[in-house]
Amino acid sequence: MSNVKDFELFKAKAREEVKRCPSEAGYVFLPNSFMDELLKCDFSVDQFNEILRIFDPRRSMK
């Protein structure tokens, strides 16, 4: 399991990345480089899902 510091840093990186990601009709297109880096990290499933939820377009509609 990855430590909390790495997890929080990656979430911050995701929040910055989401500003640059193109979106269309409720979909967000994640850059391959971001996904490659995310998949190389040793995050738990819950942490992985929490990071991906940052890109959920329904969160920004609120």
Please state, in angstroms and as integers, the Cα–Cα distance from residue 29 to each residue in 4, 22, 60, 62, following that order: 26, 6, 15, 20
pLDDT at 23: 81
What 3-state DSSP class applies to 28?
strand
Q: Going from the first residue of the chain to its last (62 residues), give the mean pLDDT of each consecutive group of 10, the final group possibly shorter.
A: 84 93 84 93 94 84 47
pLDDT at 60: 60
pLDDT at 16: 94
Domain range annotation of the chain: 4-60
H or E element in which residue 37 lies: helix 32-40
